Amino acid sequence: MAFDAFTAGIEPGGLRSKNEIRILICYLLDSVGAALSKADMINIMQDNALANYFEVADAIAEMSEKGILCSDSGRPDFYTLGSSGKIIAKQLDTALPPSVRQKAAGAAIRLLADAKRERENRVEFIKFDRGYHVVCHISGGDMDLMNITLYVPDLYQANMVKENFHRSPETVYRMLLALVTGRNDIAAGLIPPEEKNH
């Protein structure tokens, strides 16, 4: 396959052909079975050094114009595969190196899992004259299992709390449950041994 794509920021084994980049976009959307935003697709490719930013952006625009990608209803910057895109994904995915397919699909699945975790475990900011209350909701499906409200003096710290909470709301829940019930066994394994001595 001819190398006809920009290669800035691409690691060895990354994609250097416009056609391979188009195939990977189809494979990515097909493998996750969900709509992804243009920004998400570009980030997946860049974070894993699979393809150049500009090449991915151009490929998405071109594929959208041709109907290979379809805008998700109500979310114009999110895309799903059109019928021709599904054919490309099924017939040509073997044209991509297995390591590229694995990296891209793994990154997309992690992205969707993170988005689901954030949706199900909401964080609200309530502004006051001298700071913010950050309210973290730990979901149990159709109801909250626990709400935690923390005071922080500024928006920077509010965002830091939100980001750290979203990394692992289940760990926060288990730690708090262990503390308030006195059942240390609930939190077993949450703190690495090297951190217990600090």
**Per residue in 131-157, pLDDT tens?**
999 999 888 767 778 888 999 999 999
pLDDT at 151: 96
Residue 186 to residue 63: CA distance in whole angstroms: 50
Residue 164 to residue 150: CA distance in whole angstroms: 13
Query: What are the two backbone dihedrals, phi and then psi, of residue 2, each rounded to the nearest 5 degrees?
Result: -70, 140
Domain limits, the chain: 18-119, 121-196
| Residue where the block lists tokens 């059109």 | 82
What is the model's pTM?
A: 0.57
79: left (phi over 0), alpha (psi -120 to 50) or beta: beta
Residue 72 to residue 69: CA distance in whole angstroms: 9
CATH no. of 18-119: 1.10.460.10
Sign of CA dihedral 81, 87, 88, 93: positive
E strands in the chain:
36-37, 69-72, 75-81, 123-128, 131-139, 144-152
Q: Tokens for 35?
A: 């709509």
Residues (pLDDT < 70) of the chain are 1-16, 92-93, 141, 190-198
